[in-house]
Structure 1
Amino acid sequence: MVIVGASSGIGLAAAVAFAAQPGKLILVSRSAEALDTAEAACRRAGADAVDTVAEDISDPDAAGRLVARVLHRHGRIDVVVHTAAVMGYGSVEGMPADVFTAVVDTAVHGTLHLARAVLPVMRRQYAGTFIGVNSLLGSITVPQMGAYAVSKWGQRAVLRTLQQETRDEPGVSVCIVSPGSINTPIYHQAANYTGHAARPPWPVLAPERVAAAITRLADRPRRHVSVPIGPGNPLVITGFRLLPRLYDRLVGPLLRLAVLTHARRPPTPGTVHHPAPAGERLHGHWPAPPTEQVTPMTEPATGDLATSS
């Protein structure tokens, strides 16, 4: 089981969830230092075999090196989870072009490079599951978050196309997970050119909720899973598609109310170009659990997830 983006947030939560199950784990991230911490968390959660690989998945050659290493050591690849993402706040005009491009590259080209390296292996095995962690922003747009929306719309297009192109392989599955607002460090680590610190909008869920959905997909693949369950995300998407004038009138004020805080923040590229290992954590700050001790997670009841196919 290969987890890309395993050093923080949803990726780390997924790694720990898989660690409680039988199997070999390969943890991938840009930061070798952060991977050491993730490996320790997985071993505490019960994993016997954990391998770490420091690679930047936006590098066109990284996925090939990763797959070659996994095949050399383990002989096969059963599950790949792509959670790696970087975020940026700022207008399309105001965000530096290199930052905008890097946000898009991580999600879109990262998914592309990984799929091109992994899917031929799964085709040869006649089995395998490729899980891409997308976002609610893969279905809507929000002012001051254009780079992230572009990255997730593009990633969703790649994943949907891959679903169509693997229909001839019944043993190979491509799955999409669409989280809403999740309590991870990405909001604090994001590039920011708005002048204000940002936070995840309410309701904010724990990354363990998404990890539970991911581990379920590894056992029982579905085309699409939305986290959380309930009318919230579908209602927003429906408003975006069917009532665009009303949506556009409301989304700006709601962003300023729910996402941008009163705290001032100078312009920063955040971790878009380079990782910050000290900030790699399971949870963010809204609100964080009392400790960062990572423990195994149990799968939620069947009704805890919304699925569609």
Structure 2
Amino acid sequence: MVVLTGGSSGIGRAAARAFAARGDKLVLAARGLTDLQKVAADCGGDVVVVPTDVSVRTQVDDLARVALDGFGRIDVWADTAAVMAYGRFEDLPPYVFDKVIATDLLGPANVARAALRVFRAQGHGTLILCSSLVGHVTAPSMSAYATAKWGLRALARTLRQETRDAPDIHVCQLVPGSVDTPIYTSAANYAGVVGRPPPPVDSAERLGAAVVRLADRPRRKLSVGAANRIVEFGFYGLPPVYDALVGPLMYRLGLSRRPAPADTGNVFASTPRSDGGPARNGRTAVGAAAAGALALGAAAALALRRGLRVR
């Protein structure tokens, strides 16, 4: 039996379809009832939907009770709920920054608290927390999201340490790179232009399949993204080079040229789902991304080979 928070769009929606296709019992949760009902209809069968804001602890606790009352146990709880905000840190209204943290960090904490309580009582269970490549590196105009995802990485590792006494309880972390989901266009925006997923971009279905894979074969971390390892290598291997390149690459590839007025997006309330990201990068941009990633990795490798220590 699977609980999916963030199940109304993107990775969560794809994971719901993948679990349903093989006959798993599902409880789907997200803030928007209409989109939840659409996903449930896509899944077919006996799918329970529970409108839930993961940033509200009592709602998450109620969700756990609904799942237990209906099915008697929770085998897997996957949390993919997230919101995003674009803009320089000083340009983000404090209340927007705080709400992103509440959803993307305190939300998973609420989920983990409820799930682990159930798992401890029944003696088993798998918790899957959806992080991000931006939980391992940083990028300008994404301060709130990065702060939350870095905190989530610390939480996941701590939970793994604290559940070492329970070998049948697993805490997994999914680390996507760029994914074709609505999170970019529905984000709060104080950058002046619409955000977009920088290439290379994976499909939500590929990440949904990764969630199912973790449910079947739990592991500490599953990174999905062709450029993930190269970007992380550059970030940790040669920080000055990374910091010099990430700004121009972000503004070229992670932000479109389409103007956007200052807006809170879906940070405070759900918005109708769209089925993909904004205008995609063309071949020239994809080539620039590949060249930038390779330059970053090569510079870091050279520095490490020479034994350089960069602080």
Normalising by structure 1, we get a TM-score of: 0.88
After the TM superposition, which residues 1-309 of structure 1 pair with which residues of structure 2 at under 5 Å, given as runs?
1-43=2-44, 48-228=45-225, 230=226, 232-276=227-271, 278=272, 280-286=273-279
2:197–2:277 contact (8 Å) kept in structure 1: no
Deviation, structure 1 residue 86: 0.2
- One-letter identity of the residue aligned with 2:252: L
In 2, distance between residues paired with 1:96 and 1:75?
A: 43
- One-letter identity of the residue aligned with 1:20: A
- What secondary structure is seen at the aligned counterpart in 2 of 1:110? helix
2:196–2:277 contact (8 Å) kept in structure 1: no
- One-letter identity of the residue aligned with 2:276: H
In 1, distance between residues paired with 2:154 and 2:265?
A: 26
1:66-115 deviation per Cα after TM superposition (whole angstroms, max 9, x unaligned) = 11111111111000000000011011111000111111111111111111
- One-letter identity of the residue aligned with 2:74: I
2:3–2:26 contact (8 Å) kept in structure 1: yes
Structure index of larger Rg: 2
Quickly say closer, same or farther: Cα 1:269–1:58, change in 2 above 3 A: same
Deviation, structure 1 residue 235: 1.4
- What secondary structure is seen at the aligned counterpart in 2 of 1:182? strand
1:4-46 deviation per Cα after TM superposition (whole angstroms, max 9, x unaligned) = 0000000100000001112210000101111111111111xxx
In 1, distance between residues paired with 2:260 and 2:172?
A: 37
- One-letter identity of the residue aligned with 1:110: G
2:307 corresponds to: none
- What secondary structure is seen at the aligned counterpart in 2 of 1:271? coil
Normalising by structure 2, we get a TM-score of: 0.87
Number of residues of Structure 1 aligned to a counterpart in Structure 2: 279
In 2, distance between residues paired with 1:39 and 1:22?
A: 13
In 1, distance between residues paired with 2:158 and 2:122?
A: 21
Equivalent pairs: percent with the same residue? 47
In 2, distance between residues paired with 1:76 and 1:156?
A: 27
In 2, distance between residues paired with 1:87 and 1:167?
A: 33
- What secondary structure is seen at the aligned counterpart in 1 of 2:126? strand
In 2, distance between residues paired with 1:273 and 1:174?
A: 28
Considering Cα pairs closer than 8 Å and 6+ residues apart, tell me whether 1 or 2 has the greater RCO. 1
Structure 2 gap segments, 5+ residues each:
281-311
Deviation, structure 1 residue 286: 4.8
In 2, distance between residues paired with 1:260 and 1:121?
A: 41
- What secondary structure is seen at the aligned counterpart in 2 of 1:35? helix
Structure 1 gap segments, 5+ residues each:
288-309
- What secondary structure is seen at the aligned counterpart in 2 of 1:187? coil
Quickly say closer, same or farther: Cα 1:282–1:126, change in 2 above 3 A: farther
Moved over 6 A (4+): none
In 1, distance between residues paired with 2:54 and 2:219?
A: 24
Larger helix share, 1 or 2? 2
